[in-house]
Amino acid sequence: MTITVLPNVDKNGCLETLENIGKFFRENGIKGYLPQTVCCSNFESLPEEELFQKGDFIVTIGGDGTIIRYAKKAAQAKKPIIGINAGRVGYLANIEQGEYKLLSKLKTGEYTTEKRMMLDITVSDENGNVSIYKALNDAVITSGYISRIVDIYAGIENDSIHYRADGIIISTPTGSTAYSLSAGGPIIDSSAQCICITPICSHSLSAKPIILGSDRVIKVNAFSKKRADIYLTVDGRKVAQVRPKTKITIAKSDEYVELIRLNDKNFYSTLSMKFSEFSK
């Protein structure tokens, strides 16, 4: 059995955990792979393009951002992924750094998987250039300036919703506990198949989050009367400037992320635990 480990070495305790995992893999006859940018004994280093092909399983060490970064590549390679939490929130991670020995369950088959839907975001600019991005959490359209209102039209089939706001968040159920939650959006069961639109600081008291079926296709146009710059951000990464003639289409992706579960922690127990931590 082979396991690719993708660490965020800037996280506290990550390198120590990586060393422990390397020794544990050697003792249990597990072949481990690491990116060439990380040096650690008991692992073989590979170029990133080979890591997702050679590993039977993908393991990340870091926060939710680390999982999100690599989960989309794991989905493309059709490999299941598990996160070891070295961050603060850890909604997506299944085990903590001190629980790394649970990885032996991957060898014995004592694990379950949970499918998480993603979004395809297609951006067409005024010159006809097309770019496609994938989101596990969300796509955010917002002004590049503080307190600059943006006019956003979200077309759904033959209807259109107009928002005058700082921006909008279009999220998956996985992303419902991220930026959308901070903006007043609902918490959505992670196994649900739906898309949520959450306005950011709307200029209308009647503008509320909307949950759509996952079969809906959302077409977005945005402009600013004050000519403020508008940007599209996908999973926390700014990917495109949105101009008046830019067309953005958002739909459910055919690909999905397969998260590994090694214990009885589920969406609701994790949610309860995280909320109790934040209330301290």
State how far the alpha carbon of 231 is from the alpha carbons of 68, 108, 243, in Å: 20, 46, 9
64 catalytic, yes or no?
A: yes
- Contact predicate 212/196, CB 8 Å: yes
Structure tokens at 7: 């660490």
Other beta carbons within 10 Å of 264: 7
Q: What does the alpha-carbon distance between residue 116 and residue 85 come to, in Å, rounded to a whole number? A: 18
Burial per residue of 225-248, b for 16 or more beta-carbon CB atoms within 10 angstroms, e otherwise:
eeebebbbbbbeeeebebeeebeb
Q: What does the alpha-carbon distance between residue 114 and residue 262 come to, in Å, rounded to a whole number? A: 11
Angle at 183 between CA 180 and CA 186, to 5 degrees: 55
The single-letter code of the amino acid at 110 is E
Structure tokens at 30: 């597990």
Q: Which are the contacts of 210, defined by CB distance < 8 A and separation ≥ 6?
A: 161, 196, 197
Of 10, 64, 120, 159, the active-site residue reads 64
Q: Among all residues, which ones are annotated catalytic?
A: 64
